[in-house]
Structure 1
């Protein structure tokens, strides 16, 4: 009976009800958008760093991570790659040979990161072929290179030109060579775009005098949640006396710390948003209470118990909050889904400023369920807490004064 009365009371004043529902639904949408953009940026940052630099897991020689030089390359066992790819949830095992070299063209010279890759395997990690903005990819048996657009711009070279690479090879061997540039690539990480030189793995091994050697075997998985189980399986398959297995969290602690610090600031901003939203919601509840003072006074004067009146009003608040949260939930899903599939790219003016800090100039959004559920629960809880005011007002209400003030 009380629930039926509460439901009828909600729709007795449609304007007031719609204002309340819209204010709460808007709070859900706004907070969900803000949190989705924040989590999406973290996911993009991690994915860019992991897929372009290390892989979610990496197998390398013991001591390589502390001293990343070509002399710490290792000879992979013949069946290592098949063993790794046979582990559940492993998408691919990508061989790499990395070291630094001086890249030169005419009178320009710059330090470059030379990455020897297997084009077919690399598609699962950096997917370098899709990052080509000019030119074409190379085959594993060719002696061509792909270079980042930032490096090409600095050296003032283009597709078809020849780049000179000079470095120190394995165990102090001289490393020098000339390579035709077959394509230019652009990544989400500016520092990679400004430094990277991709070379077929056999050519890189020959260039550094490191035949059959690798600096790392990067392990790719579809989702970061599988990393722990894959790492446990790898430790059983790998000779840990000579090799070590490291996950991306250990290899990139600065990234984790940066995300944690930024997350704290994001939560503070979200709390400020909740404060603003809370005042708006409180205003609607205050209006709802003030408009019904005469009604409350009449009901109490004819003998209705206060606790029953409070139960009815509280049921109204719960119903309003549930309807509003569901509306906000339903509207935020397609909105965030659109931005998830169509990230917001910033203009060239902002792009230059962002890239100075090594950040991709794009706002991406997350579709993780927690984005929607957490905001919906928080706003629903806020509505219940703010709904204490009408209950308190009824508890302290004097029927005569209420009828006088409510006229």
Structure 2
């Protein structure tokens, strides 16, 4: 049976970050934010290791350690804290704490210490664990607290699940200079690179890329040195091409990373199908780097509000480039076709379809027939168009039902769910079911 770890931190974002970090190393992890709930979890589940914050409002780490020791005197407990004075250290040492680590943690040292007490799960065990989690990731996405900048410069974040992803990227960007993102092919990597550069106050006038499909270790090092010497500000470098790269190319990238100048940071875009494909080989040292943390970008078909926002943003630019501003609008019958397509090519495919549809239209707003023809030409999707389409309102309502229903099934009451979503519970019938709720965010239809 796979061994389990319990993570306790009253800062939910930090607890989620630790859980995600450990899961990237195939550890089975549960995370909680309330010490009392952690005690209940220790009573009902067998854990081989507990990782706990020290400074918590309802129960400090020493009190939690004492209660945990009462239940299992031999249970390893690692305390993680941003500030512990000498009396605190002496106190927990006398109580038999296993290890004390300071925030921000050294990731590799942290993982090495965890491996002293817990064995990572096998691939089969970890997959079974992830499959059995059901809606837990949905619940975490529902309840997270956003700390990244409210106003974005390059990306659209109108969907809740994408904001959850960006929160993980924000945390990673503040913790380290090497950020790893699993992306569906065709995703808005360029926009994410620019956004993170803005967050880090790096140079956003241009973007720099290292492409593993064209490996040249000496050339890459020379390019990096040129970047450093060419500007006064630091740079964020995007690394792409993992899915089509050789082991030799990957090893060269490891060398580049190891020797890179100090004022450079890196954002690695790893194709999600590479992560999920066990038959693909990854350089062992590179795998260690990837396993430090991995932020998983959701596909565009799970982010309908973002799809609508990108359409509204880019269609006027496309129409302007064609010298036909009247093509900047969509007929009401055209948007359902965009919402009902699966978008396997994600953001890049959306732009291609919008460009093709705008070029096909002679005058006026884009019609459903223009979108259908563009989908047929770009994506081979046209002959099999369904007879009935979801409207934007229906699509948003379905996503709302999915999110709220998941939270209610996890045991949350409707009032708590609405509070979490920023909606006044008094504005909704407290006896209403998820199906009966009105649209919580009607502004998404605008």
TM-score, with structure 2 as normaliser: 0.24
More strand by proportion, 1 or 2?
A: 1
Larger relative contact order (C-alpha < 8 A, sep ≥ 6)? 1
More helix by proportion, 1 or 2?
A: 1
